[in-house]
Amino acid sequence: MTEHTAPPAAASEPAPERPRSRRRGALLFLRDVVVIVAAALVISFLIKTFLIRSFYIPSESMQSTLLVNDRIIVNQLVPDLVAVERGDVIVFRDPGSWLTPAPEQPRSPLEEGIDAILTLVGLSASDSDEHLVKRVIGLPGDRIVCCNDLGQLSINGVPLDEPYVELPEGRRDVSGSDFQQDVPAGQLWVMGDNRYDSSDSRVNGPVPIDDVVGRAFVVSWPLERWGWLDNYPLVFDGVDPRP
């Protein structure tokens, strides 16, 4: 009798992955991505709404502190939770008649969509042309006088040395015209650093504090211009409120 050796048992092959399991895994991954993106958008929206947001500079009135098309980050806790101080660079809504309507530039639907998303998360500001950027010079109750024999502006009788002011060659007066103004309660006296090319409180009057959106504290773009914005506290250090 011939003895036959039984062939070794074949190794069991893994069961093929079920298409349904793969689809379920893909759906779970997609769900997680959607949740993460949605959470990021909500957080960015809350930050933009209550803490900071971005604006771009449309004019030359703040040169050379700020240049045209610079982007700035604005602290929106000012002035509601943090008081405005002299020297602050602030963004404020047009109180009325400061701005002339700018013609709308045609943009593609893709550009509109991208800008809407960036505005939502605070990385762009489609309404920048409805706001202004100036430096706070006078607080409520201050008396602003310009110019003395040295060309200086004075607050409550204290003359200022203003290193941020851009002057034309050969000029030393920090304003092209003399003026005297008592700042009313609830308002601010603001001026551009480029004093000879700025329509500011000298032309349009004080700005209501209620119109202030926030204080600009950093130039964020372009990268070579990145830097903190100084409010020059030493310039105003000797100024006391009027009695």
Residue-wise pLDDT tens digits, 5-25: 555 555 555 555 566 667 776
- The whole-angstrom separation of Cα 201 and Cα 194 is 13
pLDDT score at 224: 94
Among the listed residues 61, 128, 175, 201, the single catalytic one is 61
In terms of DSSP H, where are the helices of the chain?
19-50, 109-120, 201-204
2 or 193, which is more confident = 193
pLDDT score at 243: 75
**Mean of all residue pLDDT scores within the chain:** 83
Which of the residue ranges 74-83, 143-152, 187-196 would you say has the lowest mean pLDDT? 74-83
- The whole-angstrom separation of Cα 174 and Cα 195 is 7
Q: If you average pLDDT over residues 225-234, what whole number do you get?
A: 96
Residue 47 has pLDDT above 80, yes or no: no
Position 224, amino acid: E
Catalytic site residue 12?
no
Share of the chain above pLDDT 90, in %: 58
Residue 1 has pLDDT above 70, yes or no: no
103 or 211, which is more confident = 211
- The whole-angstrom separation of Cα 89 and Cα 74 is 9
Which of the residue ranges 67-76, 122-131, 143-152, 201-210 would you say has the lowest mean pLDDT? 122-131
Residue 128 has pLDDT above 80, yes or no: no
Give CA separation, 58 vs 15, 61, 205, in Å: 65, 9, 21
Catalytic site residue 61?
yes
Among the listed residues 48, 54, 134, 220, the single catalytic one is 134
